[in-house]
Structure 1
Amino acid sequence: MNVNPRSSSEPPKANPVTVTPATRTPRRQPRRLRVDDVLVVKRSRIRTAISGTVVGNFMEWFDFGIYGYLAVTMTAVFTEGLPTEAGLLVTLFGFAVSFLVRPLGGAVLGPIGDRIGRQKVLFFTMAMMAASTTLIGVLPTAAQIGLWAIIPLYLLKMVQGFSTGGEYAGATTYVAEFSPDRRRGYWSSWLDAGSYLGFAAGASTVAVTTLIVESISGPGAMTEYGWRIPFLVALPLGVAAIWLRSRIPETPAYEVAESTGETKADAADPLARHGLVGIFRHYWRQILIAMAIVAATNTAGYALTSYMPTYLETEVGVSNLLAAMATVPVLIVLSASLPLVGHLSDRIGRKPVYLLGSASTIVLMLPAFALLQTGQMWAIFVALLLCAVPVALWIGPSAAALPALFPTASRFGAMAIAYNLSVSLFGGTTPLFSEWLIQLTGNSFMPAFYIMFFGLVAGFAVLTMRESARRPLLGSVPTVETRAEAAELVAGQDENPLIDTRTMPLEKQQPAEPAVTREPERTREPAGV
């Protein structure tokens, strides 16, 4: 996808940059925004691009759903001979180990995505993820090779973790850059809606497989061979997802930054492309804010999804099948609510929605876990809905809000660092730490206290965050859906507090022009968008 060339034949020049010490916000010389600077991205192309991105997150969480709902079964398969409690911790560590590798994947794949483009890296991560998930389904068991069976499982989980280190950071960067400024929260939220539908699909696959194989081969069928089937289902799903990924275009924002020289390395320019050292140097505050939000999001999210089946089976005494039946409809409701929350963040701002998420985490978690202890199906369903409320409020704005913390030239790399450091330390380890805390203290409410702590920390972090709703992304020109909207935006730029041309990749100083009163001759629009 190419961006229409400008009339100037001069090569792009570096723009002078100053950094205000109080805010650390990059500031360039003010420039005049012209109509042909604005990106117009048609709604049909937004849908195509986002649907091609959602499939990767669907696949990622499909695997989480399988592994989470098969945790107790896989304990018997891969740790036969160990005490039950120790075996369960070993199995859950397989979930955690994939997250421990994520920062490495992010550190490698993120900067590559800033250099060669988002689409190429997303295609690669999808292929790795589909292959590793499928291969888990053909691993030898402890009954065949002893406790050595856990080693290849860990290795494949590490491959998944490496690929996922670039997947979510790249996917959020992609959808944020493809979405129009006024509706970025709404369009970006579909990415995470696909994630939770993927988890629900994984859980449903486990439930259906359990019903079928146990009706055919008896109660021990899942441990004997049935556990393999959900992982093998990932093969045809992965092939379809890889094909869709191959068809998505590069983001217009990245192409504009490339064409204007914005992505050239410049150690002194906060808006230029940076490696790991430069990212930490210029954006360490934003990284800490993002890490706090991601920690709150994922402790609540993974407790609801990956750990909840184990909790319901071991602490409440619910069967694997009933655990799936209770959580799947809640996850579907959660997925359906995310676009609504994303739209709300476009209307009232990302920060107010996040603060609602912090408050609901603190208020709702203890009542939810108290209801779970009753063991009654209606109470479990209500409790899971209560757990889903803060999850929706944290996740709904995130695919739009987190990428907006960083400039286009370094966005993929910075997102990969912030997201994966946090999710590996606090998110993916939630099932392991929750189970360990329960075993250590004997208190079945410890997961609730764990989640509440991170919700409180993130609430304080949000207070220091710059509001990004309805603004152009840092280091990008405005993005709209129609030519008329582009003309209207340029005409009112002087009175629009959301427009700051000093952070935009504009090639040359434009002469002042009066408000637009005629139909623009042309609007810059990437080919095919």
Structure 2
Amino acid sequence: MPSRKKAITRPRRLEVDDVLVVKKSKLRTAITGTVVGNFMEWFDFGIYGYLAVTLTAVFTSDASGGLGLLLTLFGFAISFLVRPLGGFILGPLGDRIGRQKVLFVTMAMMATATALIGLLPTSEAIGLWAIVPLYLLKMIQGFSTGGEYAGATTYVSEFSPDRSRGYWSSFLDVGSYIGFAAGASTVAVTTWIVEGISGDGAMVDYGWRIPFLVAIPLGAVAIWFRLKIPETPAFEAEAEDARAGQEDDPLGRHGIPGIFRHHWREVLIGIALVSATNTAGYALTSYMPTYLETEVGVSNLMAAIATVPVLIVMSACLPLIGKLSDRIGRKPVYGIAVGATIILMVPAFSIMQIGQEWAVFIALAMVAIPVAFYVAISASALPALFPTASRFGAMAVAYNLAVSLFGGTTPLFSQALIDLTDNTYMPAFYIMFFAALGGIAMLTMKETAKRPLLGSFPTVETKAEAKELVEGQEDNELLDTSTMPLGIILPVVEGTVGGDADPEASGKQAEPV
């Protein structure tokens, strides 16, 4: 009877040299280079969101009634509808060739598309056709951002030490919301200057172009930073692991079909959590200027600047919430976010209806509370759902499906629901519905705080911490070495006559990986 051979993998003991040591200086460089990309992405969101009413007059002046505003908001939504395509292509590519390379490409595409919007012809020049090139550039932005946030969260989570991943990863979304505030501030300052010089119609005539063109120098700086960031140690360690090519291994590297096959539960959890996060987040940022102008009746300038101080204060709180999640866990922080959403959202929209400045600021602060608890842990909790070999691709699938279907379409759906029902509280109910779904998903997810990322070695800040970790690994319930690339391949002979199926019993030498 001929022998049949197969290989089994048994974990060996974790050694000091296995532990990834990331010094704070290198960590800061990596985080900074990633944050600037998210800053640029949300800078564009801030510009487009705060110029939505102005862009309606610029690109859809020939449209009748409220159709023009809906067409403009669809331009925001269409970039999100394209995001899954970008995620499905760029995500698995990032798992194959590296996080840094893909993040550089996404940054270059995003900055270029944003700048070109500032050069487009208006409806006054070519009629309603003006909306077509705007949509095309928004689609390019959507494709690039399909890999941007998934890659950025993967990158910062893999560079962050296990004990403080919540704290360090939170800076990614600090960059996001500061970028949005910068975009809003740019619109507000531009409006104040050009209307002071040229009168009330100046923003429609030419002023709307200026914020988009500001993306040229900002984009150049962001691209330069992206060139300087190194590859993550976790990716480099995983790339040398033989299991990355094993199709049947859940911890191995997979394309889109394999991700759905092995990680469909985690993908669904991620979709629910991202939907809860982004319906609230995009309501606060991208939709709120439109809502304040059309439903509350505040001025264009007030709508543009109202969220800026709220976003700045909220951004300053994100690292504190991230550090809290390192202490009490990601799941309790998600629980706080869900509870705050359900409790505060309707009262916030009720106070907003008063229409006075003090009421608007209080209402926006109430909306920002659950958003802060959601986004502070997104970059640490979501990538930890997936193994290193497929993390970029799986994050791209879960995040972009959720954002494209539910998050980025929040302005469009919220306005459409108001138009359909004449109920100005519909955005609050929309946000609360997804918060409830997020709460269910939170209850089913595994706690990942203080633990190594699935499929990766532990990550620490000092060599002394690595030695301490290795010495106490047998008693450390936070370590699961079976998910780390620690295996040794043992050839096993099956079906032989008089043969020994145990390689150790037969004296065969194990081949280290």
Question: TM-score by structure 1 length?
Answer: 0.91
The code of the aligned residue for 1:58 comes to: F
Tell me, yes or no, if the aligned pair for 1:32 and 1:509 is still in contact at 8 Å: no
Q: Which residue of 428, 435, 441 maps to 1:448?
A: 428
1:201-212 residue pairs with structure 2 within 5 A? Answer: 201-212=182-193
Deviations 1:381-404 (A, max 9, x none): 010000000101111111001000
Deviations 1:183-223 (A, max 9, x none): 00000000001000000000000000000000110000000
Tell me, yes or no, if the aligned pair for 2:103 and 2:151 is still in contact at 8 Å: yes
Per-residue deviation, 1:476: 0.2
Separation in structure 1 between the aligned mates of residue 356 and residue 12 of structure 2, nearest angstrom: 63
Per-residue deviation, 1:320: 1.6
Tell me, yes or no, if the aligned pair for 1:31 and 1:509 is still in contact at 8 Å: no
The code of the aligned residue for 2:237 comes to: V
Could you tell me which residue of structure 1 aligns to residue 495 of structure 2?
none
SS in 1 for 2:110: helix
Deviations 1:111-143 (A, max 9, x none): 000000000000000000000000000000000
SS in 2 for 1:219: coil
Q: Which runs of 5+ in 1 are unaligned?
A: 1-13, 17-27, 511-529
Per-residue deviation, 1:84: 3.8
Q: Which residue of 229, 237, 242 maps to 2:223?
A: 242
Q: Please state if 1:381 is matched with 2:350.
A: no
Deviations 1:200-252 (A, max 9, x none): 00000000000000011000000000000000000000000000000000000
Q: Please state if 1:330 is matched with 2:310.
A: yes
Tell me, yes or no, if the aligned pair for 2:10 and 2:487 is still in contact at 8 Å: no
Q: Which residue of 27, 31, 49 maps to 2:30?
A: 49
1:142-181 residue pairs with structure 2 within 5 A? Answer: 142-181=123-162
Tell me, yes or no, if the aligned pair for 1:68 and 1:305 is still in contact at 8 Å: yes
Per-residue deviation, 1:263: 2.6
Per-residue deviation, 1:507: 5.1
Could you tell me which residue of structure 1 aligns to residue 465 of structure 2?
485
SS in 2 for 1:356: helix
Separation in structure 1 between the aligned mates of residue 289 and residue 424 of structure 2, nearest angstrom: 14
Tell me, yes or no, if the aligned pair for 2:275 and 2:403 is still in contact at 8 Å: yes
Tell me, yes or no, if the aligned pair for 2:115 and 2:215 is still in contact at 8 Å: yes
Q: How many residues align?
A: 485
Could you tell me which residue of structure 1 aligns to residue 509 of structure 2?
none
Q: Please state if 1:300 is matched with 2:276.
A: no
Deviations 1:256-312 (A, max 9, x none): 011233432x22101110011100000000000000000000000000000000000
Could you tell me which residue of structure 1 aligns to residue 477 of structure 2?
497
Per-residue deviation, 1:15: 7.4
Separation in structure 1 between the aligned mates of residue 7 and residue 59 of structure 2, nearest angstrom: 58
Separation in structure 2 between the aligned mates of residue 274 and residue 181 of structure 1, nearest angstrom: 25
SS in 2 for 1:505: coil
Could you tell me which residue of structure 1 aligns to residue 506 of structure 2?
none
Separation in structure 2 between the aligned mates of residue 30 and residue 359 of structure 1, nearest angstrom: 41
1:324-403 residue pairs with structure 2 within 5 A? Answer: 324-403=304-383
Could you tell me which residue of structure 2 aligns to residue 436 of structure 1?
416
Tell me, yes or no, if the aligned pair for 2:181 and 2:312 is still in contact at 8 Å: yes
SS in 2 for 1:384: helix
Could you tell me which residue of structure 2 aligns to residue 116 of structure 1?
97
Per-residue deviation, 1:509: 8.1
The two structures, once aligned, show a CA RMSD in angstroms of 1.2
Could you tell me which residue of structure 1 aligns to residue 166 of structure 2?
185
Separation in structure 2 between the aligned mates of residue 84 and residue 313 of structure 1, nearest angstrom: 16
Q: Please state if 1:73 is matched with 2:26.
A: no
Which 4+ residue blocks in structure 1 deviate beyond 3 angstroms? 507-510
Q: Please state if 1:195 is matched with 2:176.
A: yes
Q: Which residue of 65, 68, 72 maps to 1:91?
A: 72
Deviations 1:342-362 (A, max 9, x none): 111100000000011110000
Q: Which residue of 269, 279, 283 maps to 1:289?
A: 269
The code of the aligned residue for 1:206 comes to: V
The code of the aligned residue for 1:324 comes to: A
Could you tell me which residue of structure 1 aligns to residue 118 of structure 2?
137
SS in 2 for 1:29: strand
The code of the aligned residue for 2:17 comes to: D
Could you tell me which residue of structure 1 aligns to residue 499 of structure 2?
none
| Aligned sequence identity (%) | 73
Q: Which runs of 5+ in 2 are unaligned?
A: 1-5, 491-513
Could you tell me which residue of structure 2 aligns to residue 280 of structure 1?
260
Separation in structure 1 between the aligned mates of residue 408 and residue 7 of structure 2, nearest angstrom: 41
Task: Work out which of the two has the higher radius of gyration on C-alpha atoms and give 1 or 2.
Answer: 2
Could you tell me which residue of structure 2 aligns to residue 227 of structure 1?
208
